[in-house]
Structure 1
Amino acid sequence: MLYFSRWKTLLIWGLVVLAVFMALPNAFSDEQLDSMPSWVPRNKVTLGLDLQGGSHIMLKLERQDIVKERLETVVGEIRQTLRDAGIRYTGLSGVGQQVQVRITDQEKLQAAVEALNPLIEPVSVGGLTGGTVTEATLEQPGDGLLRLSLTDAGIDYRVSSAVSQSMEVVRRRVDELGTTEPLIQRQGEDRIIVQVPGLTDPQRLKDLLNQTAKLTFHMVDTSMPANEALNNRPPPQSQILYSTDDPAVPYLVERNALISGENLVDAQAVFDQRSNEPVVSFRFDSRGSQRFAQATQQNVGRPFAIVLDDQVISAPVIREPIIGGSGQISGNFTLEGANDLAVLLRAGALPATLTVVEERTVGPGLGQDSINAGVTASIIGAIAVVIFMLVFYGTFGVLANIALAANIAMIVAGLSLIGSTLTLPGIAGIVLTMGMAVDSNVLIYERIREEVRGGRKLVEAIDIGFKKAFATIFDANLTTLIAAVVLFFLGSGPVRGFAVTLSIGIVTTLFTAYTLTFWLMAFWYRWKRPQGLPTSIRTGYFDNRNIPFMAVRKLSFGAAIAVSIAAVVGFATVGMNLGIDFKGGSIIEVKARQGAADLSDIRDRLSGLNLGEVQAQGFGDESSALIRLQAQDGGENAEQSALSKVRGELEADYDFRRVEVVGPAVSNDLTYSATLGVIAALVGILIYIWFRFEWQFALGAIIATLHDVIFTLGLFVLTGIEFNLTSIAAILTIIGYSLNDTVVVYDRMRENLRRYKKMPLDVMIDASINQTLSRTVLTAGSTILALGALYLFGGEVIASFTFAMLAGVLIGTFSSIYIAGPVLIAFNLRPEAFQAEAEKVPATTGA
């Protein structure tokens, strides 16, 4: 009893010391760590973009580009195949995903089919599992017509390959910028996420990523002037392309490229020795050098066009054969423009267009402000919780605070070890964990007090109190963990960071509350040899209150139903103030370079840009403003165009501190995943409660939780607070917290059901709630202190998140008493099966 072997003591404190050692590097700069011995760990928590600044961009590969290119390729292959086979045809064309051709000589129809069969043969997809995919099917409708259809599976294979190729091209382009530790990863079937910490010029990054960078060299068609070709039809072998000049100059160029950028091996920004202007020097491989030399030898005196993504960069005249395999591209470049073009050419061309569908950019200044606000809020919250525990528990509060400090160190160590990214919501997760860690200690301490009041000696009370409390602590924390896991798998960005932090915090809380606190309690008892509880414990105020909660259950239940109906009606009629995560659009936070932000001037200047509804409001201090643009008609490209217009209008007078742009494709996906996340979390939690308790308990938990969700949604409707991704995180956390509360009360009810088999149900529920009242009040109080510090000092960015959490704590506490209890009475708890189980349990089980 209260005995810890030496090896167990060493193991417990070894883990704590190791956690502190692993977390310690976060207190030093990289330069300081480099000067330390090699055995000192180097792993640190990676700061998210919202804390250190940088850009998060989601790119979508345009599937239609792949289909179009594949269709043109198949048309060309059919043309070449039939010509090589000497088979005459007519009407060769491609539309959608189908190509059709009519064979004029019916006797050669079968020969044509056999010649085209290689186009429909399965293609090996490679990989570890092998396998093949059929890219096209061939049909014969009759009358000499052959129809070749591109399969969806074949297009999917091409898209997947193009995404993989695009990731490598994107990686090379971003690496050329010289940024530190960029993150480039695939998301879904056709999207790529690019995160570049510390980037101060997101527009330059988007310009680099938006260009396909297909470089080709074409001869200029001099058979007629370009303007004449514009007014009439250009020759079939030529096309009109425009230059990058302003105004653009048309050029008539031959369709067939002399050579393409695939043969480039190097490109560098240099200064022209004659004009001293920035140009791009390029060099071909051996094959490209040979083809370029041959083309220039045959066309001396003629102009040729250097074309990038269907735009003519320059069109110099070939004065003499270029046989060295190298040359220069000039086009009135700036030094940065020449360097960016060289980066594009070195990195290679993208197989298809990449469209920016989501952008989240945070300036380094705002990132530092967020760090300061988060650290300040965390310190204030921690101090408040520490004082709270000391006031109510005295000596036991000291033990709890030691365990809390170890808990925070273990969270930081865990984040450092797995290389997790700490975001502003992640800091909120740490602050919330502090409140939940206190809950575990309160459960244990109140159990010990209860055992002492029941007549047990202190040493026995400590031992039994820990054992009884652990099952409740485990159940309560596991429900929150389920919500956190769902958040991780279905969330994105900062929401995932919150889920990771909360998950690690739950695991460390179980360790520190049950193992470390138990050891500290045992050490204190062996040291002091007390005869009773410390007199510094001040929670006796809640003892023997015998508040008749169930006496007003009809009134409280009726009021809850009325509020819930009002919330549902408001949700259906008024609706919520949906953020850009769910309806698309842009949010731009700006700070005046001088003086205060002039909101009316911002509105007036932006209203003339034809961007639809524009809102501008104060944000934080008087020099800052938050601008909201509605979702633009025209898709993702229109969103980026709107952002460019705003930058052009305001950049001279304002610093752009934060930019969030969400296109319609992403907003639809986020809405779907958020809805699925809430449903999945509820189902997972309720299945667990059904498994651990009786069906009436599960039903009561369902109704109480739905009440909390509906109330929270109604709060968003009533206050008009923006509902965004972090709001989903708040709702899921409220679900976990509310169920945590409900499970604690239900656990005591189940215990009393076994002990008092003939007690009226409403009296038993009242007794259970009163017995856990001190824990309920103290846990809510400590959590409110932690969240209150975050709300007051954590900054505007997460103010709505913490406000929802604060309201959720209050309503969760209400529902665990006034909703979860009456439901058990309404559905007549104590079925025969449970009574049979209760008969087997000795009456001395609970206290």
Structure 2
Amino acid sequence: MRRLKKGQGIAWLVAFVVILGLLGYYAALVLTGTINKTDDSLKLGLDLDGGVSITYEAVGDTPTDEQMEDTILKLQQRIENDLGEESSTTEANVYRVGDKRITVEIPGVSDANALLEELGTPGTLYFITQYDIEGNPNYTINGYDADGNIDGTLNYDIDTLIDNGSVIATGTNVTSAQAATQTNQTTNATEYVVQLRFDDEGTTAFSAATTAASLTGDSIAIYYDGKFVSVPTVKNAISDGNCIIEGMDSYEQAQKLASYIRIGGLDIELTELESQVVGAQLGSDALRTSLIAAGVGLVIVMLFLIAMYLAPGVVASLALALYTAMLIGILKAFDITLTLPGIAGMILSIGMAVDANVICFARIREEIKNGRPVISAIETGFSKALSAILDGNITTLIAAAVLGILGSGTVKGFAITLALGVVLSMFTALVITRILMNSFYALGIRSPKAYGKAKEPTKFDFVGKKAIFITISVAIIAAGFVTMGVFKAKDGAGLNYSLEFLGGTSTTVDFNETYTLEQLDSIVVPDIASTLDISEGSIQTTTVDGSNQAIFKTRTLTLDERTALNEMLESKYSVAEDSITSQSIGSTISGEMRSQSTIAVIVAVLCMLVYIWFRFKDIRFASSAIIALIHDVLIVLSLYAFARISVGSAFIACMLTVIGYSVNDTIVVFDRIRENHKAIRTETVENLKELANSSLAQTLSRSISTSITTAIMVLMLLILGVSSIREFALPLLAGVIAGTYSSIFIATQLWYIFRVSGKKSN
């Protein structure tokens, strides 16, 4: 970047302040609206807004694409009918998962259990004659309502109409229903129609009914799911089973009617695989505490940066404020659904956003130490930091991409916010921070003291002590596997698999007072066992520190059992209905989540291996980095075993985040080794050892600073977050520590071992 004059520096700063003010104001409106649930709110997932999520699977053979699309439409229509007035303020999301599954997500509903009972019930479509055999009208049509739907009344119940022969056919008699166009023979205008074909039974019945109706100009109504969808007048007798419904205003209207007719004849049987009911109060608490954690962590990180890096620290803090406002603005602008793991990804990305700035600042200090003028040190520092920033962040983006492709709904939210954070962090560090640094210099902040000077690198034999460091890691990992073996023999499972892996039902209850674990087991558990007619020993109970919440894990409960449990808790313990959260997951999901976790990790590792190999042109760099990140994964896995942390859907996000973070840290060190290696004329064992030690020493302060800022953000989640976030934050914090340890004491040492293999000392 060209050196700025004073006037240019002032202009850039004024522009920055204006942009930051506008974006900050907008971000504040969005956050306030999100907390107060106004129109300015971010789009919230179920875990933050409360509501219901359910995944169905088609029983039997794999349905056709058309059958799946029709089923999705059927569920959407049933949701609109069942929500009533709530449908105008609730955004239901119905989407296909794989070949046979459909997931329904409905945030913000008031009676989630009742809605669960209605969803998936096949609607039946009926073809009803205008008059019964005695000449009485079967239905009355008043016209159309404000939304353009047919306003009509069925004069008798369906069973009566079936018994007296007024129902001439049902949706199951329709073999095909397609929207089409035809040309009017008189006017040559294009008309939109629906083409129907009946089976043999429907053809016979329709022939008789249309023959009679055509003589009097009567209609045959199409009635689906409690309402009229079409009431066409019969013009001619239809004897061949092929029928055309005319009078559509558009092709889209014809498509909609054709879908209704196909829906009424669906023979797909849906079975519930997974369902989750989230109390709105718990979701609100999760959102509030997570935002508080983000705010507190952000302030602490800014203070740390200013204390550590002086003027550059002020610049980084300003850039970080802009980064945060931009991230919130993008989430709102693109209507990205924010989930609890998504908040975790956003908070983590704030901590990691500092990394790019720290790499630049460390380089600038080194250049000042080497005698360069400040302005030259700024330009050279940013230039030398570029490769490490790009390589490190791209590996994290690879992890985020794997999460987005292979992860579930909530994990996808985490991946999106993490990826957005990585991209924005590179932009703010390489563009915004650089502009601000040059602007500060143009305004007269030119003393080297304001920017700091790198200290002499630590004289420590990192490579010489490699046996000690590797032994420590091996001991921790071995202890983790031993622990898993002990629990495997004792409980049948080495890890504390959650419901996503084992299947069952978990009910989280926010009581009006705090119960100890002993009180829950002696007072509440017997009532639960009696209500559900299960043994007390089959109920697993845990408490949530710092709150009145308790979690009860049982076998998979039916909807009636869940309703009965809620009613018992409400009547006997005065628990508010919206503070009860239940989650039920079937065993089919369990097996898939295990394979999903394994595939996600393998794919991420292979992609990173290829990328690092390509960038560093040396398989030894790539293999060392991959072994180091496997080390980090195993360390975190050991923590899951030691602390019996629940292994659930967040486990995937946690592990892949650890992988991305670990490689990011290691690449910065490897980038310095690659740079310093150019000065080596003869590659001896002694020279390689000195190269590794000096490169580690030169990047040590950066590694520690980045780890501290990231750890601060995660620690705030651990301290202030709700239970589900804490279970995510604790292993993530361990991953940050393990990643820092491996980048300093494991990865480079492995590279050295591979590099000197076969070489002799002088």
What TM-score, normalized by structure 2, do the two folds share?
0.75
CA distance change for structure 1 residues 409 and 623 in 2, over 3 Å: closer, same or farther? closer
How far off its partner does 1:487 sit? 0.5
> How big is each residue's C-alpha offset from its partner over 1:12-71, in whole Å with a ceiling of 9 and x where there is no partner?
95986885586465156499999xxxxxxx875311211121111112222x3xxxxxxx
How far off its partner does 1:668 sit? 1.7
Question: Matches of 1:398 and 1:674 in 2, distance apart?
Answer: 41
Decide which structure has greater helix share. Answer: 2
Q: Which amino acid aligns with 1:282?
A: L
SS of 2:755's partner is coil
1:149-548 equivalences in 2 (<5 Å): 155-156=61-62, 158-176=63-81, 177-178=83-84, 179=87, 180-214=90-124, 282=154, 295=165, 342=226, 349=264, 351-528=267-444, 530-534=446-450, 537=452, 540=454, 543-548=456-461
Residues 407 and 509, structure 1, Cα contact 8 Å, conserved in 2: yes
Residues 57 and 358, structure 1, Cα contact 8 Å, conserved in 2: yes
- Specify every segment of 5 or more residues in structure 1 that has no aligned partner in the other structure, as ranges: 35-41, 65-154, 219-257, 268-279, 299-322, 328-339, 633-637, 833-847
CA distance change for structure 1 residues 622 and 375 in 2, over 3 Å: closer, same or farther? closer
- What's the counterpart of residue 729 of structure 1? 653
Answering whether residue 520 of structure 2 is matched by residue 599 of structure 1, we say: yes
Answering whether residue 49 of structure 2 is matched by residue 52 of structure 1, we say: yes
Answering whether residue 615 of structure 2 is matched by residue 692 of structure 1, we say: yes
- What's the counterpart of residue 774 of structure 1? 701
CA distance change for structure 1 residues 594 and 457 in 2, over 3 Å: closer, same or farther? closer
SS of 1:461's partner is helix
Mean Cα displacement is larger for which, 729-738 or 423-432?
Answer: 423-432
Residues 43 and 417, structure 1, Cα contact 8 Å, conserved in 2: no
Question: Matches of 1:400 and 1:439 in 2, distance apart?
Answer: 10
How far off its partner does 1:657 sit? 2.4
> How big is each residue's C-alpha offset from its partner over 1:56-93, in whole Å with a ceiling of 9 and x where there is no partner?
1112222x3xxxxxxxxxxxxxxxxxxxxxxxxxxxxx
Residues 587 and 628, structure 1, Cα contact 8 Å, conserved in 2: yes
- What's the counterpart of residue 3 of structure 2? 3
> How big is each residue's C-alpha offset from its partner over 1:688-743, in whole Å with a ceiling of 9 and x where there is no partner?
11111111111111111111111111110111111111122111101111111100
Task: Select which of 19, 26, 42 maps to 2:30.
Answer: 26
Bigger Rg, which one: 1
- What's the counterpart of residue 755 of structure 2? 828
What TM-score, normalized by structure 1, do the two folds share?
0.68
1:654-693 equivalences in 2 (<5 Å): 654=575, 655=577, 656-693=579-616
Question: Matches of 2:32 and 2:475 in 1, distance apart?
Answer: 55
How far off its partner does 1:546 sit? 1.2
Task: Select which of 504, 507, 511 maps to 1:588.
Answer: 507
> How big is each residue's C-alpha offset from its partner over 1:661-680, in whole Å with a ceiling of 9 and x where there is no partner?
11111222222212111111
Task: Select which of 716, 720, 736 maps to 1:789.
Answer: 716
Question: Matches of 1:351 and 1:795 in 2, distance apart?
Answer: 44
Q: Which amino acid aligns with 1:203?
A: N
Question: Matches of 2:289 and 2:49 in 1, distance apart?
Answer: 13
> How big is each residue's C-alpha offset from its partner over 1:284-314, in whole Å with a ceiling of 9 and x where there is no partner?
99xx99976963899xxxxxxxxxxxxxxxx
Q: Which amino acid aligns with 1:744?
A: V
> How big is each residue's C-alpha offset from its partner over 1:193-245, in whole Å with a ceiling of 9 and x where there is no partner?
11111112111111111422448899xxxxxxxxxxxxxxxxxxxxxxxxxxx
SS of 2:465's partner is helix
Question: Matches of 2:443 and 2:117 in 1, distance apart?
Answer: 68
CA distance change for structure 1 residues 579 and 696 in 2, over 3 Å: closer, same or farther? same
Question: Matches of 1:578 and 1:438 in 2, distance apart?
Answer: 34
Task: Select which of 714, 735, 741 maps to 2:665.
Answer: 741
CA distance change for structure 1 residues 18 and 474 in 2, over 3 Å: closer, same or farther? farther
Task: Select which of 478, 503, 518 maps to 1:565.
Answer: 478
Question: Matches of 2:641 and 2:415 in 1, distance apart?
Answer: 25
Question: Matches of 2:639 and 2:291 in 1, distance apart?
Answer: 28
Residues 113 and 277, structure 2, Cα contact 8 Å, conserved in 1: no
Residues 22 and 416, structure 1, Cα contact 8 Å, conserved in 2: no
SS of 2:119's partner is helix
CA distance change for structure 1 residues 466 and 31 in 2, over 3 Å: closer, same or farther? closer
CA distance change for structure 1 residues 345 and 639 in 2, over 3 Å: closer, same or farther? farther
- What's the counterpart of residue 553 of structure 1? 466
SS of 2:450's partner is coil
- What's the counterpart of residue 625 of structure 1? 550
Question: Matches of 1:533 and 1:384 in 2, distance apart?
Answer: 23
Question: Matches of 2:544 and 2:140 in 1, distance apart?
Answer: 50
SS of 1:550's partner is coil
CA distance change for structure 1 residues 33 and 593 in 2, over 3 Å: closer, same or farther? closer
Residues 50 and 281, structure 2, Cα contact 8 Å, conserved in 1: yes
Question: Matches of 2:344 and 2:28 in 1, distance apart?
Answer: 21
Question: Matches of 1:362 and 1:297 in 2, distance apart?
Answer: 42
Residues 342 and 414, structure 2, Cα contact 8 Å, conserved in 1: yes
Residues 52 and 116, structure 2, Cα contact 8 Å, conserved in 1: no
Answering whether residue 730 of structure 2 is matched by residue 803 of structure 1, we say: yes
Question: Matches of 1:297 and 1:731 in 2, distance apart?
Answer: 58
Question: Matches of 1:534 and 1:520 in 2, distance apart?
Answer: 14
- Specify every segment of 5 or more residues in structure 2 that has no aligned partner in the other structure, as ranges: 143-151, 169-215, 231-259, 488-493
Mean Cα displacement is larger for which, 696-705 or 665-674?
Answer: 665-674
CA distance change for structure 1 residues 367 and 33 in 2, over 3 Å: closer, same or farther? closer
Q: Which amino acid aligns with 1:588?
A: T
Residues 479 and 740, structure 1, Cα contact 8 Å, conserved in 2: yes
How far off its partner does 1:166 sit? 1.5
- What's the counterpart of residue 254 of structure 1? none
SS of 2:716's partner is helix
CA distance change for structure 1 residues 343 and 505 in 2, over 3 Å: closer, same or farther? farther
- What's the counterpart of residue 75 of structure 1? none
Task: Select which of 741, 746, 749 maps to 1:814.
Answer: 741
Question: Matches of 1:265 and 1:195 in 2, distance apart?
Answer: 36
CA distance change for structure 1 residues 578 and 290 in 2, over 3 Å: closer, same or farther? closer
How far off its partner does 1:578 sit? 0.5
CA distance change for structure 1 residues 740 and 585 in 2, over 3 Å: closer, same or farther? same
Question: Matches of 1:770 and 1:695 in 2, distance apart?
Answer: 24
How far off its partner does 1:352 sit? 2.9
Q: Which amino acid aligns with 2:509?
A: V
CA distance change for structure 1 residues 199 and 452 in 2, over 3 Å: closer, same or farther? same
CA distance change for structure 1 residues 517 and 594 in 2, over 3 Å: closer, same or farther? closer
Question: Matches of 2:539 and 2:36 in 1, distance apart?
Answer: 47
Question: Matches of 2:634 and 2:291 in 1, distance apart?
Answer: 33
Task: Select which of 614, 618, 636 maps to 2:539.
Answer: 614
- What's the counterpart of residue 89 of structure 1? none
Question: Matches of 2:658 and 2:355 in 1, distance apart?
Answer: 15
CA distance change for structure 1 residues 622 and 461 in 2, over 3 Å: closer, same or farther? closer
Q: Which amino acid aligns with 1:530?
A: R
Question: Matches of 1:528 and 1:507 in 2, distance apart?
Answer: 31
Cα RMSD for the two superposed structures: 3.9
Residues 315 and 436, structure 2, Cα contact 8 Å, conserved in 1: yes
Number of equivalenced pairs: 632
Q: Which amino acid aligns with 2:499?
A: I
Question: Matches of 2:228 and 2:725 in 1, distance apart?
Answer: 38
Question: Matches of 1:667 and 1:31 in 2, distance apart?
Answer: 34
Residues 55 and 362, structure 1, Cα contact 8 Å, conserved in 2: yes
CA distance change for structure 1 residues 16 and 3 in 2, over 3 Å: closer, same or farther? farther
